[in-house]
């Protein structure tokens, strides 16, 4: 494996993606996006519901769940951008 002269990382050999590989990638991204959106919707609904009922104990759990769901959504976006960057390389 040849090393890149500008950095000491191995060069990646680029090969065209097959239609099956692209379909699997789209399916995986779509499935994970569905679960990320579901987590955001459920966590937001829990925050609103507990605020409506003025339940402080459950509200803290719902708020923590909403924060974690938002972090998961951001991580999904970063993962998708990383996938897009690897396709361009």
Q: What angle do CA 27, 78, 66 make, to 5 degrees?
A: 90
Q: Which residue do the tokens 């500008």 mark? A: 6
The pLDDT value recorded for residue 16 is: 66
The pLDDT value recorded for residue 40 is: 86
Whose CA is closest to 89, among 26, 12, 4?
A: 12
Whose CA is closest to 66, among 83, 50, 34, 42?
A: 42
pLDDT tens per residue across span 67-85? 888 888 888 888 877 766 6
Regions in the chain scoring below 50 on pLDDT: none
The pLDDT value recorded for residue 12 is: 59
The pLDDT value recorded for residue 7 is: 57
The pLDDT value recorded for residue 2 is: 58
- Residue 23 to residues 7, 17, 18, 40, 46, Cα–Cα distance (Å): 33, 10, 9, 26, 34
Instruction: Tell me if 87 sits within 8 A of 17, measured CB to CB.
Output: yes
pTM, entire model: 0.61
């Amino acid at each position: 494996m040849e090393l890149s002269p500008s950095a000491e990382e191995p060069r990646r050999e680029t090969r065209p993606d097959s239609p099956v590989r692209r379909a699997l990638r789209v399916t995986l991204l779509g499935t994970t996006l569905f679960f990320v959106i579901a987590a955001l919707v459920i966590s937001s609904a829990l925050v609103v519901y507990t605020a409506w009922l003025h339940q402080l104990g459950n509200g803290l759990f719902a708020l923590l769940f909403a924060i974690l769901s938002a972090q998961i959504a951001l991580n999904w976006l970063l993962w998708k951008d990383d996938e897009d960057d690897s396709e361009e390389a």
